[in-house]
Amino acid sequence: MRIRLSRALPVAVAVLAAVAVLPVAAATADVPEPVPHTLPAADHATYIVTVSKESDPAEVAERVGATPVHIYRTALHGFAARLSPDQVEALQEMPDVETVEEDGRATGGEVFGQYWGWGSSGV
């Protein structure tokens, strides 16, 4: 049984055209917009909050309505977030919160050299 090219060609073209349109249709389908991340208030300072190992840092932040900028689980156990003065006070009163420190730049300065005796001794 032989199939003529004149009959098979239009069918093949139709199938290829249908397959070629599929990615375009999928790409133009309605895609829901992602939920925007709510930015913390820019006028509040950023704080580093450490919590006890038994506590979940994200849950502690949620209790005071804070949106963590970062959650620490390795070197520290806590989170960083922009906090209002009321949030700072509420966190400081929680028994599972260990420290609440305003974020800032840390430098070694002269302390390292003086500790090891390299400071002003002329070594």
Structure confidence by residue, pLDDT tens digits, 73-122: 998 999 999 999 999 999 999 999 999 999 988 776 665 555 555 555 55
SS (H, E, C) the chain: CCCCHHHHHHHHHHHHHHHHHHHHHHHCCCCCCCCCCCCCCCCCEEEEEEECCCCCHHHHHHHCCCCEEEEECCCCCEEEEEECHHHHHHHHCCCCEEEEEECCCCCCCCHHHHHCCCCCCCC
Residue 34: per-residue pLDDT: 47
Residue 59: per-residue pLDDT: 96
Residue 97: per-residue pLDDT: 96
Tell me which amino acid residue 45 is. Answer: A
Higher pLDDT, 68 or 104: 68
Residue 120: per-residue pLDDT: 55
Residue 109: per-residue pLDDT: 63
Q: Give 19-34 pLDDT, tens digit per residue.
A: 565 555 555 555 555 4
Q: How far apart are CA 23 and CA 13, in angstroms?
A: 17
Task: Kindly give, in sequence order, each residue whose CB lies less than 8 Å from that of residue 52, ignoring residues fewer than 6 positions away.
Answer: 77, 96, 97, 98
Residue 32: per-residue pLDDT: 53
Average pLDDT over residues 47-64: 95
pLDDT bracket for residue 35 (50, 70, 90): very low
